[in-house]
Amino acid sequence: MDKTKKKELQILACKVRIGIIEGVFHAKSGHPGGSLSAAEIFTYLYFKEMNVDPQNPHDENRDRFVLSKGHTCPGLYAALSLKGFFPWNEIKKLRHIGAMLQGHPDMKGVPGVDMSTGSLGQGISAACGIALSAKLSGADYRVYTILGDGELEEGQVYEAAMFAKQYKLDNLCAYVDFNGLQIDGKITDVMSPLPIASKFKEFGWNTIEINAHDFDEIDAAYTQAKSVKGSPTVIVAHSIKGKGVSFMEDQASWHGTAPNSEQYKIAIEELNAALAELGENK
Amino acid sequence: MIATRDSYGEALADFGSVYENLIVLDADLSKSTKTVTFKKKFPDRHINCGIAEGNMMSVAAGLATTGKIVFASSFAMFAAGRAFEQVRNSIGYPHLNVKIGATHAGLSVGEDGATHQCCEDIGLMRTIPGMVILNPADDVEARAAVKAAIMLDGPVYMRFGRLAVPVINDKPGYKFEIGRGIELCSGEDITIIATGLMVPEAVKAQKLLDSDGIKARVINMHTIKPIDREIIIKAAKETGVIVTAEEHNIIGGLGSAVCEVVAEEYPVPVIRIGVEDVFGRSGTATAVLEYYGLTAKNIYSKVKNAVFLKRQNN
């Protein structure tokens, strides 16, 4: 990836993080930790990888995205808004009664959301269905999904893993946000889904491990995924929960907690400083 | 005599030629659910999901987002029971165009016993907003239900049986319309509202009652949701007492749906015939139905008693 593109993506990831904090703060609830850890992947998918057009959100040939870990939609919403699917102002109405943006993604109400999700384990299956549809129709769109590492405790994930291999869904690319934490603590303390990559490998998937916060590695992984025939790909991305906001980093307690006014101020200041460092004015 | 699951499989094979975007999913039960009939004709559009009903329902949802008409089949126990939450969240909430073809519903599964005799499915499905529930009584109605489900854009739960049942709707003028009950016999003394395989039993009971001088109205309620409020209210007003008959728990199914309408609109006594909040047991289908009182004979005696009480009160 050239340096200009990489910098553009880094700036956008920073703006996605600002959107996450804005949304969750104004909602006084929501899930900042796992949204922040996935800021780079949301950014990469919408600004580099996927063929989507905010002017034509239902285009039959568009690439599809399913947020299997639906609770981290503040990150998705920020990316969609930055891409032009809806005004930024909606972010500040997240989770408010009568507002467009629900606590979990609602495909009927939000332009750009391809599947309603929120109940863990179901999104990857729906992504399989979308990918299978392309195979049946000879369409060449690709399907992307993001799972949480805690989500891998849901048995349905492995039903989907078998299905995707059985039907050779090489147009499906899953991404596991491996931040190591879930609501009740470390994934290894609660119910370890480890090892992740080798599990998927045994199910017949192409597997790639990367650093979730490095756009070069993300880019290389998605490029490689597209070259694989006959197998779905999973990208296991080592991430830091709460990434980008110092006091939220690597803390399970920020899984589903909103910042108070003081914390909000600090978080936004930190993110604006990061933007400035990238040469971008807020 | 033909089981509605057979009618289902044949209807899918018929409509498969008309609708090229019709996809059928099954969970390793295609020989039992009869989707195998579709598979023989359209092997590429029949997707076996293996023994993984939760995944199947979410896969169905994903397919439906791309404009496919998806039929997902398993036994009622696993389609509505095991996969309830996938049906609710992946299919129901986004109101996707998925048709759930649930076979082996009710006690008439027979020998397999309680673990496979699903008498809770209507209750479960009824609580999902926007879910249409069809419970056809025979071959003619099962095929009509499949057609109506295809014509409707949105989720439909269809309930089919394992047991061969008589064909009663092969009459000129028969018309299947979602949400419209069918009056099979007129009568002013009492109304029997039946669904599924209890419809022919209700018709048999009506004949016995007629010879006793009791004029029972019989309604075939093939759609449980949206329920035909009009035909229920009319029956309540004109006959003053209603008996419901279903192969389902008396909690949550047709009997409950009728009670809800009557209680709100025109309160009259309602007697619910069905599985009385117990689990089933093994036996031949007919023996099990007899054991739990899902027979014309039981309808007959419950109606006689209800009419006696009604006349006493008047």
Q: Please check whether residue A157 touches B, CB under 8 A.
A: no
Domain residues of chain A, as ranges?
A: 3-277
User: A282: pLDDT confidence band, cut at 50, 70 and 90?
Assistant: low
Beta carbons within 10 angstroms of residue A112's beta carbon: 23
Quick check: A159 and B44 CB within 8 A? no
CB contact under 8 A, B68 and A159: no
List CB contacts (< 8 A) between B92 and chain A. none
Is the confidence at residue A234, as pLDDT, over 70?
Answer: yes
The span from the CA of A120 to the CA of A112, in Å, is: 20
User: What is the least distance, in Å, from the CA of A26 to any CA of chain B?
Assistant: 25
Nearest to B4 by CA among B120, B150, B123, B134: B134
CA atoms of B24 and B47, how far apart (whole Å) = 6
| Residue B53 annotated as catalytic | yes
State pLDDT tens for residues A142-199.
Answer: 999 999 999 999 999 999 999 999 999 999 999 999 999 999 999 999 999 999 999 9
Query: Among residues A107, A51, A168, which one has the least CA distance to residue B65?
Result: A107
**A3-277 belongs to which CATH class?**
alpha beta
pLDDT, position B314: 77
State whether B90 and A128 contact (CB < 8 Å). Answer: no
Q: Are the Cβ atoms of B52 and A159 closer than 8 angstroms?
A: yes
Question: Touching check for A130 and chain B: CB below 8 Å?
Answer: yes
Kindly identify which residue of chain A lies nearest to residue B61, measuring between CA atoms. A126
Q: Do the chains contact at A122 and B95, CB–CB below 8 Å? A: no
Q: Residue B184 CB: number of other CB atoms within 10 A?
A: 20
3-class secondary-structure state, position A144? strand
A46 is written with which tokens? 């919408």
Average pLDDT of span A201-211: 98
Interface test with B, best of A122, A135, A143 (most B CBs within 10 A): A122
Contact call for B58 and A125, based on CB within 8 A: yes
Extents of the domains making up chain B: 4-159, 182-313
Residue B65: its chain A contacts at CB < 8 A?
Answer: 64, 107, 114-115, 126, 129-130
Amino acid (one-letter) located at B231: I
Q: What is the ipTM of this complex?
A: 0.97
Contacts of A125 in chain B (CB under 8 A): 54-55, 57-59, 61-62, 86, 90
- Mean pLDDT over residues A272-276, rounded? 97
Residue type for position B118? C
- Residues of B whose CB is below 8 A from A159: 50, 52, 54-55
Question: Residues 24-53, chain B: which have Cβ within 8 Å of A?
Answer: 44-45, 47, 49-50, 52
As separate numbers, helices (DSSP H) first and strands (DSSP E) second, chain A gives 10, 7
Determine the pLDDT at residue A143.
Answer: 98
Side-chain-side CA neighbours of residue A194 (13 Å)? 11
Task: Name the stretches of chain B with pLDDT < 70.
Answer: none
Tell me how far apart the alpha carbons of residues B22 and B63 are, in angstroms, rounded to a whole number.
10
Residue among A20, A95, A77, A79 at smallest CA distance from A245: A20
Nearest residue of chain A to residue B92 (CA atoms): A116
For residues A36-50, give the mean pLDDT: 98
Which secondary-structure segment (H or E) carries A277?
helix A261-277
d(CA B203, CA B212): 15
Q: Which of B292, B279, B248, B281 is nearest to B113 (CA)?
A: B281
- Say what the pLDDT of residue B42 is: 98
User: Looking at chain B from residue 245 to 264, which residues have their Cβ under 8 Å from any Cβ of chain A?
Assistant: none
Using a 10 angstrom Cβ sphere, with 0-12 exposed, 13-18 middle and 19 or more buried, the burial of residue B121 is: buried
DSSP per residue, chain B: -B-HHHHHHHHHHHHHHH-TTEEEEESS-HHHHSTHHHHHH-GGGEEE--S-HHHHHHHHHHHHHTT-EEEEEEEHIIIIIITHHHIIIIIITTT--EEEEEESBSGGGGGG-GGG-B-SHHHHHHTSTT-EEE---SHHHHHHHHHHHHHSSS-EEEE--SS-B-----STT----TT--EEEE--SSEEEEE-TTHHHHHHHHHHHHHHTT--EEEEE--EEES--HHHHHHHHHHHS-EEEEEEEETTTSHHHHHHHHHHHHS---EEEEEE-S-----S-HHHHHHHTT-SHHHHHHHHHHHHHHHHHH-
CATH superfamily label, B4-159: Thiamin diphosphate (ThDP)-binding fold, Pyr/PP domains (3.40.50.970)
Q: Specify whether domain B182-313 bears CATH 3.40.50.920.
A: yes
Is the sign of the CA dihedral B4, B5, B10, B15 positive or negative? Answer: positive
Residue A280 — very low, low, confident or very high, per pLDDT cuts 50/70/90?
Answer: confident
Peptide bond into B269 cis (omega under 30): no
Q: Is A173 helix (H, G, I), strand (E, B) or coil?
A: strand
Residues of B in contact with A155 (CB under 8 A): 54
CB B159 within 8 A of CB B196: yes
Residues B271 and B242: their CA atoms lie apart, in Å, by 6
Name the residue facing A128 among B62, B89, B94 (closest C-beta): B62
The pLDDT assigned to B313 comes to 84
Q: What is the pLDDT of residues A236-269, one digit of tens each?
A: 999 999 999 999 999 999 999 999 999 999 999 9
Q: HSE (CB half, 13 Å, CA atoms) of B241?
A: 22
Report residue B183 as tokens.
């009056």
Which of the following is catalytic: B10, B20, B53, B183? B53
Q: What's the mean pLDDT when you consider all of chain A?
A: 97
| Fold equal for B4-159 and B182-313 | yes
Contact A159 B64 (CB under 8 A): no
